[in-house]
């Protein structure tokens, strides 16, 4: 009997160590903060159709601003729609209650994609149907429109399904462009085209769907190179500096820089034979080291998700837009 107990104990120890090794390899075992999925958040009105929350930013009141598609769906085999979505497509949520405190955007957008809120509380969006980047004030007044409406292209006045925007402190901005082009383009604060870089491929400085773009504390340009499952880092002139790649990264969808603690929060996504395996939230330091990770890899008790966008408020709470379940998730930092 004692021998059987000994064998059982040994087996449990081996399994525990194997599990521990697997978790460490996947990046789950770490010294980062603990996050809790906030239940019953957001609190949306009965019958409200969120539909593909593709972009999230944080305004100066630390409330999430969400860009969503309503009843419109991304075309798989047919052309992009051309008519504007009749309903509002931007909502501002109270970060505590998750209730809608503002909504706008009806009759403007064709295929919502990325959203960024700058330090002046302006809202920047990319529309893959309009083929444009648009800048609004916080009340939805149009301030700037870049790109030629409904005309795809690859030059100084055209985009081809642009994906996201990063805004520098001087007002200049970078556009990741995108699904049909494989470039990042820089513009002045007034919207004048300055230069571009990138080409289709997987080598240094190339892209296969540059899906997200953000600036760090040194104004390095970080690009979520989606189909290459990596983050590429460039200087302000587009010079390639380095790449961050990990064998456990999935398709890299989006990233955001948290100025409060100089970390980058990214989200990825993995499928297996077209079956969703889910997303991870991955927190990295400015050297590209993973300091925290949760989602499909562990440390998470929610549904399988496909995170298309991510945002972080000043308290390091994390917001994700899940286009698989058409919802927004809030992860509250509970320690340390």
In the sheet with 112-117, reading across from the earlier edge strand, the strands are 112-117, 123-127, 132-136, 142-146
DSSP β-ladder status, 142-146 and 132-136: antiparallel
Is the pLDDT confidence value at 29 over 70? no
Task: Classify burial at 7, counting beta carbons within 10 Å of its beta carbon; exposed 0-12, middle 13-18, buried 19 or more.
Answer: exposed
Least confident of 32-41, 181-190, 243-252: 32-41
Is the pLDDT confidence value at 183 over 70? yes
Confidence band, pLDDT 50/70/90 cuts, at residue 16: very low
Structure-token pair, residue 320: 């994700």
In sequence order, what are the residues at sequence separation of 6 or more whose Cβ sits closer than 8 angstroms to the Cβ of residue 122?
135, 136, 137, 138, 143, 167
CA trace torsion 30, 322, 50, 103 (10° rounding): 50
Single pTM value for the model: 0.91
**CA gap 109, 91 in Å, rounded:** 14
Task: Classify burial at 135, counting beta carbons within 10 Å of its beta carbon; exposed 0-12, middle 13-18, buried 19 or more.
Answer: buried
pLDDT in tens, 230-282: 999 999 999 999 999 999 999 999 999 999 899 999 999 999 999 999 999 99
pLDDT in tens, 275-303: 999 999 999 999 999 999 999 999 999 99
Contact at 8 Å (CB) between 131 and 146? no
**CA gap 256, 258 in Å, rounded:** 7
Query: Which residue is listed with tokens 């499928």?
Result: 271
């Amino acid at each position: 009997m004692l021998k059987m107990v000994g064998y059982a104990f040994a087996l449990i120890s081996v399994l525990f160590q194997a599990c521990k090794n697997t978790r460490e390899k996947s990046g789950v075992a770490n010294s980062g903060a603990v996050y809790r999925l906030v239940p019953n958040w957001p609190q949306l009105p009965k019958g409200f159709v969120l539909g593909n929350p593709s972009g999230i930013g944080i305004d100066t009141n630390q409330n999430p601003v969400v860009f969503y598609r309503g009843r419109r769906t991304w075309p798989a085999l047919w052309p992009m729609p051309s008519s504007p979505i009749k309903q509002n497509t931007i909502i501002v949520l109270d970060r505590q209650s998750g209730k809608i405190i503002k909504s706008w955007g009806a009759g403007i957008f064709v295929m919502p994609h990325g959203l960024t809120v700058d330090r002046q509380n302006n809202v920047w969006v990319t529309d893959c149907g309009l083929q444009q980047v648009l800048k609004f004030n916080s009340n939805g007044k149009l301030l700037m429109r870049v790109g030629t409406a409904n005309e795809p292209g690859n030059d100084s006045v055209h985009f081809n399904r642009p994906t996201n925007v990063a805004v520098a402190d001087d007002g200049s901005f970078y556009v990741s462009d995108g699904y049909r082009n494989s470039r990042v383009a820089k513009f002045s604060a007034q919207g004048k085209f300055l230069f571009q870089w990138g080409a289709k491929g997987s080598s240094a400085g190339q892209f296969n769907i540059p899906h997200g773009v953000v600036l760090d504390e040194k104004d390095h340009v970080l690009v979520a190179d989606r189909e290459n499952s990596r983050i590429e880092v460039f200087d302000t002139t587009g010079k390639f500096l380095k790449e961050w790649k990990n064998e456990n990264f999935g398709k890299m969808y989006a990233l955001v820089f948290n100025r409060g603690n100089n970390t980058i929060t990214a989200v990825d996504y993995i499928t297996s034979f077209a079956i969703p395996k889910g997303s991870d939230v991955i927190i990295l330091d400015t050297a590209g080291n993973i300091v925290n990770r949760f989602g499909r890899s562990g440390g998470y008790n929610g549904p399988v998700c496909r995170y298309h966008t991510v945002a972080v408020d000043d308290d390091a709470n994390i917001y994700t837009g899940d286009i698989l379940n058409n919802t927004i998730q809030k992860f509250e930092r509970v320690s340390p």
